[in-house]
Amino acid sequence: MIDMDSSYKRLIDGNRHFSMSKKLDDPEYFKKLSLGQKPDYLWIGCSDSRVPANEVTSTESGEMFVHRNIANLVVHTDLNLLSVVEYAVNVLEVKHIIVCGHYGCGGIRAAMGNDLLGFVDNWLRNIKDVYFKHQTELERISDFEKRADRLTELNVVEQVRNLAKTGIVQKAWKTRQLHLHGWVYGINSGLITDLSVIHDGNEDIDAIYRFNL
Ligand code: CO
């Protein structure tokens, strides 16, 4: 038997505890989950370990379809994200898509700097583009942390808009209700702020992005 690092072994022990406590509450818990999933929500959040989608929303297994990447971006050439969105919208028929950013985001801070970091610079370029678009507003804020907080919010708004620009979402709007939301989570408070950037139809996006459907 290979000697396992204790911080790693902790995970297996934690899993046994999880499985047992769920079964104690409801002996049928896993049996019910194994029948299939029908989540109402798609969560697009940051990969940051401090923003676990289920935990911060007190939701259970089966309630939320989740996609996470650095700084919760919706990039229209990202096959991974598009596959997730398409499956969530067309097959699972989620009712809500939530883009959730968070204050204190390392991706946002890195995008505000000029260091050459590597591969991730290409990813962070999407945030730099958001910064550039709102440069006047952002540079009126002298405090770096406050400016980062504002960019975090503007980034979420932009990513929700990016969702609205996809054919997947616009096609769904033709036949049913689908609500897009932008949220920001506060790591230091544990609280979510709803930015009230709800999109229910393509009226809110520029005409050039609207498909003839
Ligand atoms: Co982050």
Structural contact between residues 53 and 64, judged by C-beta atoms closer than 8 angstroms: yes
Q: Give the predicted TM-score (pTM) of the model.
A: 0.95
How many of the other CB atoms lie within 10 Å of CB of 155?
27
- CB-based neighbours (< 5 A) of ligand 1, an ion: 46, 48, 105, 107
From the CA of 45, how far away is ligand 1's center (Å)?
A: 8
* Per-residue model confidence (pLDDT) at position 203: 85
* Per-residue model confidence (pLDDT) at position 2: 57
Tell me the DSSP string of 9-55. HHHHHHHHHHHHHHHHH-TTHHHHHTT----SEEEEEE--TT--HHH
* Per-residue model confidence (pLDDT) at position 85: 98
Rounded to whole angstroms, the Cα distance separating 97 from 10 reads: 33
SS3 171: helix
From the CA of 200, how far away is ligand 1's center (Å)?
A: 26
All residues at 6 or more sequence positions from 68 whose CB lies less than 8 Å from its CB, including other chains: 43, 44, 45, 46, 47, 53
Residue 179 vs residues 103, 142, 154, 190, 198: alpha-carbon distances, Å? 23, 35, 19, 24, 7
Closest CA to 104 of 157, 74, 159, 149: 149
* Per-residue model confidence (pLDDT) at position 196: 87
> What residues are annotated to the active site?
46, 48, 50, 102, 105
Closest CA to 150 of 195, 187, 120, 191: 195
How many of the other CB atoms lie within 10 Å of CB of 74?
25
* Per-residue model confidence (pLDDT) at position 148: 98
Tens digits of residue pLDDT in 120-176 = 999 999 999 999 999 999 999 999 999 999 999 999 999 999 999 999 999 999 999
DSSP 89: I
Rounded to whole angstroms, the Cα distance separating 150 from 141 reads: 9
From the CA of 48, how far away is ligand 1's center (Å)?
A: 5
Dihedral (CA of 154, 156, 161, 162) sign: positive
Residues of the chain with pLDDT under 70: 1-4
SS3 107: helix
From the CA of 124, how far away is ligand 1's center (Å)?
A: 11
From the CA of 128, how far away is ligand 1's center (Å)?
A: 15
Q: Point out which residues pair with 186 in neighbouring strands.
A: 191
